[in-house]
Structure 1
Amino acid sequence: MNHILETEIAGRKMKVEFGKIGMLSNAATMVSYGDTVIMVNANASEEPRDGIDFFPLSIEYEERFYSVGKIPGGFIKREGRPSERSILNARAIDRPIRPLFPKGYRNDVQVVCTVLSVEQDNAPNILAMNAASLTLCLSSIPFTTPVGTVSVGLIDGKFILNPNAEERKESILDLTVCATRERVMMIEAGGDEIDEETMISAIDYGFKEAQKIIDFQEEAMQKFGKEKDVPKLYKVEENLEKEVVDFSFDMLKEAMYITDRDERNAKLEEVKAKIAEEFNEKYPDNIADIGEVVYNTQKKIVRHMMLVDKRRPDGRNFDEIRKISCEVGLLPRTHGTGLFNRGLTQVMTVATLGAIGDVQVIDGLGEEESKRYMHHYNFPAYSVGEVRPLRGSGRREIGHGALAEKALAPLIPSEEEFPYTIRLVSEVLSSNGSTSQASVCGSTLALLDAGVPIKRPAAGIAMGLITNEDLTEEEVLTDIQGIEDFFGDMDFKVAGTEKGITSIQVDTKIAGLSPYVIRTAITDARKARLFILDKIKECIPEPRKELSEYAPRTLTMNIDPEKIRDVIGPGGKVINKIIADTGVKIDIKEDGKVFITSPEAEGANKAYKMIDDLTRDVEVGEIYLGKVIKITTFGAFVEILPGKEGLVHISKLDVNRVNKVEDVVSVDDEILVKVTEIDSQGRINLSRKDALSDSDNEKNQDDN
């Protein structure tokens, strides 16, 4: 039986159909918002997976090009590996849902969101987040807390719920808020330097509007949701847990209270070796359980340390930032480099400037077709002192790179101000907390070093949270390090300038964040950001006045769009010859804007003149240096511009009488000529005699 339920959100219809498709899935829905349609299939294994200490949740976001009436590019003509946008959307769905499953649930769960139809006014990623929650709620999988997700824009000081395509272009804020009935589960934001109070108000607005979607999901659950399975929750045997805790607690506490990281880690290794020696032989089948007890004990110790003793593992105050240092100009042949250190977190970012034609082409479901600013992030194993095979970018690398890219995007100069494609690559050299926000800082340094005229420097910081079991006690931490991220409850990343916020991303391990935590994290992040920005300005206060000698030089010019074909030529013959003769890259826009990029100025100037000659009009009275291309008995034909030639009559060849054309000029001679007439048929009449007279007059004036 097909069950249908509808509601209205932001003036548009949201509809769910349940029972019509995916008959063999635990739950399958077709959820639509306007003409955007998402199919979600949710399934879980019947039994928990053995031998693991985590919840094996898999979220997949599948884009289908038919959803926007496209056939995929390339040779194969079918969808391949997930796009970066798909990966980011899958991560965004995972973050608010994962903490809401029962603790100890270890059955494999897979949620597949397939994009079937896209109307650009209704973003499929927002709908997919709601559809994933709704489908899990309707399934028999033990997920019972619906989460509602909305998008919030800001136009002329007014919040816009789920802005359409036109509104998204005007909006200075792109905020996603995901919430339960009581708390905010996830925040993702990009903004054009949004002040803190406005951002807090926008999050509160999103939280309230998300309640309507939660109402819709709860109604669907009540009307046609399946009966929930009683899960088998994994729990360590009480006797084993008590033995391990009694044996190890004091030793672990002594180790965890050491402020120096290296000393603490060395002591912890000693303690863990003693624990293994004591219990591994006695409980050979429960080694993973022993590890889990040790982890939980460490977590309790860290929480007690912060909530009761009011101190952090490294002895800092809750709002204190680790030691910061900045450096630029490290690499001699690159276009710009920045090295940023915060405690033991170290990121080096390298900036590369390229031609406008080096933009990244995007073959996806959205409206964006290309990017001229890119940020990529690499997290090798050596950054945490480990040994692992080097692989391609994973979901973490893609997510962190996109977050740092979002933080700086509003500050990048326009194509008109700075006609270059910009690529940043952040290399994580050492990781002990929030490398993504260190990448923002390193990227700012690299851009300034490269001479990119960014609007303002940006910096980022990660805020943390420690709570008790019932969430009645909350301590917000500034600049969390690895141990606080590992044992803590929140990773609240905020980046921006001295003027306002440009990006936010929030991960939480608990059942959501209170208004107090959100406000404290955002306001304390501003204090930290301003402190870091001062350090960046001490290192390099403004963009370098000159580009690196190894950076390409770009000249821009505007030509009549009707003359683009003259520059390109038949089959690209003309433009390819210019490129071959000068060694430049040439990019031409439909509006007639031309970008000429070259490793050195001489080639760019030469190409500029060639294009200018091809496209400028011949004007009466102007003098040109032309080339003789043909001689007749009555005169000489001279090419004054590429493809434009005129006749110098024999009577106009010299100031004196000429009996024979060959007495004055030969083919391939270069001579000065003056345009005396362009007749009604477009024929050009030239005069060498007048050009010589004009030159003599100018010389006499100079002599006088």
Structure 2
Amino acid sequence: MREITFSFLEKEENYIFDKFAKQANGSVYYKSGDNVLLATVAVDCDSIVEEDFLPLTVQYIEKAYAAGKFPGGYIKREAKPGDFETLTARIVDRSLRPLFPKNYCYPTQITIIALSVDGEADLQILALNAASAALYTSEIPLNLPVNGVRIGKIGGELVVNPSLSNMEQSTLDLFVSGVNDDVLMIEMRTFGGVDVERPSNPLSFVTTLIDDEKAKFSANAMDEAELMRALELAKTQIAKKSKIMQELFAPCIKAPVALTQERKSYHCQRIQDFIAQNYLGQLREVITFLSKTERGSKLKSFAKAIAQDFAIQFPQDVESLDERVWDSLEVWKRKMIRQMILEEGKRADGRGLKEVRPISIETNILPKAHSSALFTRGQTQALVVCTLGGDMDAQGYELLTDKGGAKEHFMVHYNFPPFSVGEANPIGATGRRELGHGNLAKRALECSIVGSDSKTIRLVSEILESNGSSSMATVCGGSLALAAADVECTDLIAGVAMGLVCEGNKYAILTDIMGLEDHDGDMDFKVAGSKNGITALQMDIKLGGLNTEILHNALLQAKEARLHILGLMEEAKSKIVLNTAVLPSSQIFAIHPSKIVEVIGQAGKTIKEIIEKFEVAIDLNRDNGEVKVSGGNKEKVDAAKAYIIGIANNKEDKPSIAELYKIGDVYEGKVKKILDFGAFVELPHNYDGLLHISKITNNRAESISDYLKEGDIVRVEVLSLNKNKVELGLKK
């Protein structure tokens, strides 16, 4: 057992290695404050995965006992992971995945369990710290420790790793992971302006919105220069902690386990030379087929033809020929795509490096849905449908760091059916990727919505065709669907996926990448925002890290594309025809609080009659007299509003104060309420008069509470009658 303790950003971190879960290939018991997490790494050294992907799985698991709670629901045992657990696992996975060598083929499982949690814990930072330490010191020969920081913006200042309570005041949530000077992963979103009520846990996937006609706000977008300053701050802190971790954890690194097996290699220089001599021209023609599915089938047919020709010329060398030809063809395809981009400035579909694919937009094509938007960009197509509801339609949830349950009033659900990429498979359960893409779109859109926490909005994105960045198509379609549902938004939000091809000192940034460029490129960089700046960002890098200059240039190039797409979206928005026949309507108005009981009626009889007669839902606030009427028909909602106002105004009004009181009248009354500027005194006929502090003392430094308290009986004189106000003086 080894124990390491150090302080970083004024917080003590304690790592205990190989005391717990000692049969795992690596483990750490990680403690920060009252938060405790156990991270383990297990590798199957006896089997390998032949398919060309990294067989890494990350699980993040929260135990209810960690916060002194019982699991919610009927079954009192943790089962299916919640959305926050899945999203946290994805962040850890995406941060650690770039560390593994390209040919790593051993099934590897990283498990992080939250054992003790306080209400201020940033569990995503803690989970990454624990997992990275366990992996770095494990028997897997990886020699770099990843760490991450969260940057907030509070009071106009950038803050590193703010507490949850401080994050409630932040307009920025930027999560960056990396190692030394290299950035590996970025997650970013902005919150709305000062008129947005923060979620109870600002690191969750939920934001509650408010509605105030006098307090409109704009989407709190961040410009590219300010974002770069935040990223530089994050990089500085990551580099500092990387140095600490490498120095202190070095004695804890286990001897590497023997990983001697390798994937079966079909690399064949003879076949690659054969393709180079005879087929490169034809390969370029196949690559440039515009249709993704057609390109795939052409490539398979082309590989078969090459194999047949090769077998004729080299009949003695036909073992595993199909596999070797396909592997060699993939090598040349990747080389050719990257060469075309770097040396010719051309892409497989003929576009320039900064060119966005053709876009078409249709709105409200579904007659019975509240709204819909069909957004098509090249071979990527998203049908986004909006449904509006009330408070009862909100999604309940509870996070480990929350004191109680809460509701999610804005949801984005992303579906990726297999037919969208031409696969003949049934539609299954929602996967991690679908959850992550939906969350990214939600983070991009949420700060643009002006709404109420009694309004629930659900966006569902059905990906009908996919060839590059369906999540950004969801952002564009989602913003238009909100507009088509007549949801008040500050700005339209558009998204675009950027790519990168880098060889030595040469690099090229690609706008609006398609699947081919994502597969054979070096970066997937998604940027969403309004005309004023960025609202959400996600970056995954396949290189060891990303140069700051490249990142800055990618942001500026993404801005050009975003403004182009927003122009087309604005044009489409101007042509929207609302589905008024099915679009639900709501009216919020106020009556005197004393009239609420009359709207309800004896035993609720009156309000039940209104609900049945007009087919509406009614919410009443007894404290301030606010009434909300909502329903599926605007005319009936308006009629119900008029009916309720009629009830409130139907009763005989009180006599005016001029009829009840005369200047000079003297009364004895009870002090009902004390305020800084005076006291309200109860008068006959159910009116209250104001006894101003100036009528009690001329010393401004003195408080009225020095003379009076609630419940006192005082003798007062009517000094003036001003509209419906009675002004009093103290009578001795």
- TM-score (norm. length: structure 2): 0.78
**Who is 1:637 aligned against?**
none
Q: Deviations over 1:315-362 (max 9, x none)?
A: 221111111222212121222111212111111211111123211111
Q: Is the 8 A contact 2:386 2:481 kept in 1?
A: yes
Where 2:180 maps in the other structure, the secondary structure is coil
Contact 1:7 1:14 in 2 (8 A): yes
Partner of 1:247: 274
Q: 1:560 to 1:373 in 2, by over 3 A?
A: farther
Shift of 1:549: 2.4
How far is 1:177 from its partner? 0.5
Contact 1:18–1:28 (CA under 8 A) maintained in structure 2? yes
User: Following the alignment from structure 2 to structure 1, what is the Cα–Cα distance between the partners of residues 134 and 608?
Assistant: 56
The answer on 1:528 being equivalent to 2:561 is yes
- Give a deviation string over 1:461-492, Cα, whole Å, max 9, x none: 00001122xx4332111110111011111110
Which of 581-590 and 220-229 deviates more? Answer: 581-590
- State the Cα deviation string for residues 520-555 of structure 1 (Å, max 9, x = none): 1111100100000001111114987x6722122223
Displacement of 1:231 after TM fit?
Answer: 2.9
Q: CA deviation at 1:274?
A: 2.4
Matches within 5 A, 1:91-170: 91-170=90-169
Which moves more between the two structures, 309-318 or 176-185? 309-318
When residues 181 and 288 of structure 1 are mapped into structure 2, their CA distance, relative to the original with a 3 A threshold, is farther
Matched with 1:646 is: none
Percent sequence identity is: 35
8 Å contact kept, 1:620–1:677: no
Measured at CA, do residues 608 and 14 of structure 1 come closer, stay the same or move farther in structure 2, by a change above 3 Å?
farther
Going from structure 1 to structure 2, the CA distance change for 1:25 and 1:307 (only over 3 Å counts) comes to same
Alignment RMSD, CA only? 3.3
**Residues 576 and 17 of structure 1: is their aligned pair in 2 closer, same or farther, counting only changes over 3 Å?**
farther
2:449 pairs, out of 400, 408, 412, with 412
**What is the DSSP-based 3-state SS (H/G/I as helix, E as strand, rest coil) of the residue aligned with 2:347?**
coil
Conserved 8 A contact 1:190-1:504? yes
Name the amino acid aligned to 2:588: T
> Is 1:300 aligned to residue 300 of structure 2?
no
The answer to whether the 8 A contact 2:272-2:332 is kept is yes
Q: Quick one: distance in 1 between partners of 2:380 and 2:623?
A: 46
Residues in 2 aligned to 1:356 and 1:33: alpha-carbon distance in whole angstroms? 38
SS at structure 2 position matched to 1:60: strand
**Aligned counterpart, 1:385:** 422
Deviation at 1:128?
0.6
Instruction: Give yes or no for the alignment of 1:449 onto 2:448.
Output: no
Query: 2:229 maps to what in 1?
Result: 201
Q: Secondary structure of 2:555's match?
A: helix
Distance 1:19 1:207, change over 3 A: same
Structure 2 equivalent of residue 224 of structure 1:
252
Partner-residue secondary structure (3-state), 2:225: helix
Q: Distance in 2 between matches of 1:36 and 1:584?
A: 48
Deviations 1:412-436 (A, max 9, x none): 11318xx631111111111111110
Task: State how many pairs are aligned.
Answer: 620
Is 1:320 aligned to 2:359, yes or no? no
Q: Contact conserved, 1:448 with 1:542, CA < 8 A, in 2?
A: no
The structural deviation recorded for 1:439 is 0.8
Aligned partner of 2:305 in structure 1 is 274
| Deviation at residue 225 of structure 1 after TM alignment | 2.0
User: What's the CA shift for 1:253?
Assistant: 5.6
Q: Which residue of structure 2 aligns with residue 334 of structure 1?
A: 369
Provide the residue aligned with 1:425 in structure 2: 460
Structure 1 232/565 Cα, relative in aligned 2: closer, same or farther at 3 Å? farther
Partner Cα separation in structure 1 for residue 595 and residue 20 of structure 2: 55
With 291-300 and 420-429 compared, the bigger mean Cα shift is at: 291-300
- Matched ranges for 1:302-701 at <5 A: 302-367=337-402, 369-415=406-452, 420-468=455-503, 471-541=504-574, 548-557=580-589, 579=611, 583-587=615-619, 593-601=626-634, 604=637, 621=654
Pair 271,620 (structure 1): closer, same or farther in 2 beyond 3 Å: closer
- What do residues 212-244 of structure 1 show as CA deviations (whole Å, max 9, x unaligned)? 332332134213221223433626558x52133
Instruction: Give the 3 Å change call, closer, same or farther, for CA 255–18 of structure 1 in structure 2.
Output: same
Q: Please state whether the residue corresponding to 1:452 is helix, strand or coil.
A: coil
Alpha-carbon distance in 1 for matches of 2:113, 2:472: 32
Equivalent residue number for residue 261 of structure 1: 290
Match of 2:445, as an amino acid? Answer: L
User: CA distance change for structure 1 residues 117 and 292 in 2, over 3 Å: closer, same or farther?
Assistant: farther
Amino acid at match of 1:464: G
SS at match of 1:107: coil
Deviation at 1:50?
A: 4.8
Residues 72 and 344 (structure 1), Cα distance of their counterparts in 2 relative to 1, 3 Å cut? same
TM-superposed CA distance for 1:37, in Å, is 2.2
Distance (whole Å) between structure 1 residues aligned to residue 472 and residue 94 of structure 2: 19
Q: Which residue identity lines up with residue 273 of structure 1 in the other structure? A: K
Aligned CA distance change for structure 1 residues 113 and 586 (closer, same or farther; 3 Å):
farther
Question: Does the 8 Å contact 1:252/1:271 carry over to 2?
Answer: no
Quickly say closer, same or farther: Cα 1:145–1:388, change in 2 above 3 A.
same
Alpha-carbon distance in structure 2 between the residues aligned to 1:589 and 1:195: 41
Shift in alpha-carbon separation, 1:509–1:678, aligned structure 2, 3 A? closer
Aligned to 1:211: 239
CA–CA separation in structure 2 for the residues paired with 1:400 and 1:486: 18
Asked if 2 retains the 8 angstrom alpha-carbon contact of 1:96 and 1:508, the reply is no
Aligned residue number for residue 68 of structure 2: 69
Cα distance in 2, alignment partners of residues 106 and 571 from structure 1: 70
- Letter matched to residue 301 of structure 2: E
SS at match of 1:46: coil
Match of 2:273, as an amino acid?
D
8 Å contact from structure 2 (residues 181, 236) kept in 1:
no
For the residues of structure 1 that align with 2:110 and 2:58, how far apart are their CA atoms?
Answer: 5
> CA shift at 1:377, angstroms?
1.0
Cα displacement (A) at 1:132: 0.9
- Following superposition, the deviation at residue 27 of structure 1 comes to 1.7
Paired amino acid for 1:536: M
Alignment CA distance shift 1:502-1:219 (3 Å): same
Cα distance, 1:543–1:78 mapped onto 2, change above 3 Å: farther
2: distance between equivalents of 1:16 and 1:392? 37
User: Which residue identity is paired with 2:530?
Assistant: T
Show structure 2 runs of 5+ residues with no match.
191-219, 657-683, 688-732
Displacement after TM superposition at 1:42 (Å) = 0.9
2-structure distance, mates of 1:50, 1:346: 33
Task: Measure, in 1, the Cα distance between the counterparts of 2:459 and 2:317.
Answer: 53
SS of alignment partner, residue 7 of structure 2:
strand
The CA distance in 2 between the partners of 1:599 and 1:144, in whole Å, is 61
Larger mean CA deviation between 267-276 and 75-84 belongs to 267-276
CA contact (8 A) 1:255 1:264 kept: no
What is the one-letter code of the residue matched to 1:500? G
- TM-score w.r.t. length of structure 1: 0.81
Q: Which amino acid aligns with 1:81?
A: K
Deviation at 1:32, TM superposition (A): 2.5
How many angstroms apart in 2 are the aligned matches of 1:244 and 1:269? 16
Please say if residues 121 and 401 of structure 2, whose CA atoms lie closer than 8 Å, have aligned partners that are also in contact.
Answer: no
Distance 2:406 2:631 in 1: 25
Q: Aligned in 2, Cα 1:49/1:575: closer, same or farther, shift over 3 Å?
A: farther
Task: Look up the SS of the partner of 1:193 in the other structure.
Answer: coil
Distance in 2 separating the partners of 1:320 and 1:358: 41
User: What amino acid does structure 2 have at the position aligned with 1:14?
Assistant: E
